[in-house]
């Protein structure tokens, strides 16, 4: 596919719903009791895989193309699936669902596509085993397909997170809701907190104090009505595009501003990006953002900031190619176990376009400012790599060809339409 380039970007984009919250809204609606209605649900492949997984587990879910309506069955009401549940490319679905299934009284096997089945699951399986769950990977490995066997009762644990991972933390929290006793989680660094917030939203009890989380077990949740805010991870591509393409101005509506997710804004402002906030919606935690072309300078991204930008690091690497000086990203080992090894694939693909970028054991070193040129690049079947390369292509004066552009549909089905709408040519 030939990617879009532009002289400048201008216009307003409605950011698609937050993928992380959309996944969890289905999960909480299913394990709660009573009716849950979800407004502004993200109908992308990953989230639809979550919806279909719970339908396979016997949860009545109705999509009227406007809202999602769930008749929650509680943990006890989940039923055995008729076959292996395939969650496609969605690591979020698999990892969080393992926590939900850990306390069930029947056996379930979860599988994924070729990419997901090469991603390690031990980081989730190990704490669940400590709680008493019987979880085994393919041929007793740490890789999917993963089977969760019948379990009578889970026990609370104290768990010190070896890595900052919202997915691992969330899987433990879902299991802890079913366990006997109070589970205590001590985070390495604070990661995105959507699961903790939604436990409270659905009537659960949880205590969070800095990096320590306390969750009593044997809880029952109640169905709710909720609206999914726009996904800041999707907005990140337009924030960077607006900053690096000359003479641009982009308005982004309905951007979710959960503080555990807004590291991209902090990084960009530190680098000198011109980002303005308007029309803040306190109730739904969202705002309208305006980004303009900016003169950028290099920075260092490390430590406690990394969990707040983990999904945005590939697009931040592109941003750094257009900043004066050397940008360093470190402490980002978690990037190696995403849809691809995003450290290596980001460096590999941007090098093809002329970027001065090098991969390290835990991050990237990017020297700017560089001119990007035409190349044949690949998404490696990773949606965030594919979207990052389209933003890079905006700066090329000649065509850039992308292999496997369809990967982008897992999180942003109309991404290319929005780019085409914003891309302008000088008369």
The answer to the question of whether 218 is labelled as a binding residue is no
The answer to the question of whether 118 is labelled as a binding residue is no
The answer to the question of whether 167 is labelled as a binding residue is yes
The answer to the question of whether 397 is labelled as a binding residue is no
Among 69, 159, 70, 94, CA closest to 339 = 94
With b for 16 or more beta-carbon neighbours within 10 A and e for fewer, the 43-81 pattern comes to ebbbbbbbbbbbbbbebebeeeeeebbbbbbebeebeeb
Instruction: Report the distance separating Cα 415 and Cα 231, nearest Å.
Output: 13
Write down the residue that tokens 């997915």 correspond to.
167
Q: Is 311 annotated in the active site?
A: yes
Among 83, 72, 65, 2, CA closest to 34 = 72
Instruction: Report the distance separating Cα 350 and Cα 358, nearest Å.
Output: 10
The answer to the question of whether 311 is labelled as a binding residue is yes
Question: Which pair of structure tokens corresponds to residue 62?
Answer: 């109705």
The answer to the question of whether 178 is labelled as a binding residue is no
The answer to the question of whether 205 is labelled as a binding residue is no
Among 385, 419, 379, 416, CA closest to 401 = 379
Distances (CA, A) of 335 to 1, 30, 347, 359: 26, 30, 12, 11
The answer to the question of whether 292 is labelled as a binding residue is no
Whole-angstrom distance between the N-terminal and C-terminal Cα of the chain? Answer: 26
Which candidate in 18, 46, 231, 311 is catalytic?
311
The answer to the question of whether 20 is labelled as a binding residue is yes
The answer to the question of whether 91 is labelled as a binding residue is yes
Among 39, 44, 42, 47, CA closest to 23 = 47
The answer to the question of whether 297 is labelled as a binding residue is no
List, by residue number, the catalytic residues. Answer: 311
- Residues forming the annotated binding site? 19-20, 24, 91, 119, 165, 167, 311, 338, 342, 384
- Residues forming the annotated binding site for phosphoenolpyruvate? 19, 91, 119, 167, 342, 384
- Residues forming the annotated binding site for 3-phosphoshikimate? 19-20, 24, 165, 167, 311, 338
């Amino acid at each position: 596919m030939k990617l879009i380039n532009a002289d400048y970007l201008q216009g307003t984009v409605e950011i698609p719903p937050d993928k992380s919250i959309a996944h969890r809204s289905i999960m909480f609606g299913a394990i709660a009791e009573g009716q849950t209605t979800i407004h502004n649900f993200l109908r992308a492949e990953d989230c639809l895989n979550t919806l279909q997984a719970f339908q396979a587990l016997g949860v009545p879910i109705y999509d009227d193309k406007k809202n999602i309506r769930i008749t929650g069955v509680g943990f006890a009401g989940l039923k055995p699936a008729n076959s292996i549940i395939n969650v496609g490319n969605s690591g979020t679905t698999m990892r969080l669902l393992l926590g939900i299934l850990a306390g069930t009284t029947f056996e379930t096997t979860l599988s994924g596509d070729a990419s997901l089945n090469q991603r390690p699951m031990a980081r989730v399986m190990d704490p669940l085993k400590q709680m008493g769950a019987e979880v085994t990977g393919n041929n007793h490995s740490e890789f999917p397909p993963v089977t969760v066997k019948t379990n009578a009762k889970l026990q609370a644990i104290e768990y010190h997170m070896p890595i900052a991972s919202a997915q691992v933390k969330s899987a433990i929290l879902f299991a802890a809701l079913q366990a006997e006793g109070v589970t205590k989680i001590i985070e390495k660094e604070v990661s995105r907190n959507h699961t903790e917030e939604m436990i409270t939203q659905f009537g659960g009890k949880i205590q969070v104090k800095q990096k320590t989380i306390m969750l009593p077990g044997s809880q029952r949740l109640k169905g709710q009505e909720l609206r999914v805010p726009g996904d800041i991870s999707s907005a990140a591509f337009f924030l960077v595009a607006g900053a690096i393409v000359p003479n641009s101005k982009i308005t982004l509506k309905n951007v979710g501003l959960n503080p555990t997710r807004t590291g991209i804004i902090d990084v960009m402002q530190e680098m000198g990006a011109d980002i303005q906030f308007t029309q803040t919606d306190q109730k739904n935690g969202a705002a309208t953002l305006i980004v303009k072309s900016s003169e950028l300078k290099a920075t260092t991204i490390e430590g406690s900031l990394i969990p707040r930008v983990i999904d945005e690091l590939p697009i931040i690497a592109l941003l750094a190619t257009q900043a004066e000086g050397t940008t360093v990203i470190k402490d980002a080992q978690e990037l190696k176990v995403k849809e691809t090894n995003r450290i290596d694939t980001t460096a590999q693909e941007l090098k093809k376009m002329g970027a001065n970028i090098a991969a390290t054991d835990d991050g990237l070193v990017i020297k700017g400012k560089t001119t990007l040129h035409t190349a044949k690049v690949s998404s490696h079947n990773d949606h965030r790599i594919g979207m990052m390369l389209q933003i890079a292509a905006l700066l090329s004066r000649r065509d850039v060809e992308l292999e496997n552009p369809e990967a982008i549909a897992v999180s942003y089905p109309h991404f290319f339409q929005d780019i085409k709408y914003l891309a302008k040519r000088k008369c």
